[in-house]
Amino acid sequence: MLTLSIIKPGAVARNNIGKINAMIESAGFKIIAQKMIAITKTAAEKFYEIHKNMPFYGDLCSYMSSGKIVVQVLEGGSDAVLKYREIMGATDPLKAADGTIRKLYGVSIDDNAVHGSDSDENAANEIAFFFSGLELL
Ligand code: ADP
Ligand code: MG
């Protein structure tokens, strides 16, 4: 199965792409597609539409459009979505378990290093948002 990962602007700015990718690969995932892009606030608003009623929606979308991001498709086992959420750690880096990506490379709940899909259905939608069929061959 597949999941969508995003290395967020803060982690890219802090030069943590390689270290995060090493953790992803060490955990047994294959990075089957990856690109560094910048997105507009409008695009971020579309991507995070499910959060549009949350108080943090505006700040989240501004943050995600504040610098380069790395979007990537990870192939894991049957539980790729859950397995990636496990190695990401809790949303708030201060609450994330030792050894998780967010604990190591996140700074705050806004600047928490990575995004990971939360269900197989959302993973499929999120992958289709960023990648064409051709890029996934
Ligand atoms: P996750 O990324 O762990 O799936 P959510 O989907 O709930 O978390 O939220 C999306 C993103 O919005 C989080 O990664 C985080 O950067 C931000 N966020 C979530 N909750 C808060 C909050 N209470 N305050 C500020 N930002 C938040
Ligand atoms: Mg989420």
In ligand 1, the atom with minimum distance to the C-alpha of 63 is: 16
Q: What is the predicted pLDDT for the residue at 67? A: 98
Q: What is the predicted pLDDT for the residue at 66? A: 98
89 contacts: CB under 8 Å, gap ≥ 6:
96, 97, 100, 101, 102, 103, 106
In ligand 1, the atom with minimum distance to the C-alpha of 90 is: 3
> 74 CA to middle of ligand 1, Å?
20
Q: What is the predicted pLDDT for the residue at 85? A: 98
**Going by CA atoms, what residue is nearest to atom 26 of ligand 1?**
110
Q: What is the predicted pLDDT for the residue at 2? A: 98
Mean pLDDT for 37-46 is 98
Residues recognised as catalytic: 115
What's the predicted TM-score (pTM) here?
0.98
- Provide the pLDDT confidence category of residue 1 given band limits of 50, 70 and 90: very high
Q: What is the predicted pLDDT for the residue at 83? A: 98
pLDDT digits (tens, 9 = 90+) for 69-100: 999 999 999 999 999 999 999 999 999 999 99
Would you say the CB of residue 120 lies under 6 angstroms from ligand 1? Answer: no
> 85 CA to middle of ligand 2, Å?
9
> 137 CA to middle of ligand 2, Å?
26
Shortest-distance ligand to the CA of residue 102 = 1
Q: What is the predicted pLDDT for the residue at 96? A: 98
Would you say the CB of residue 110 lies under 6 angstroms from ligand 1? Answer: yes
Q: Which of 79, 86, 84, 71 has the alpha carbon at shortest distance from 136? A: 71
Shortest-distance ligand to the CA of residue 122 = 2
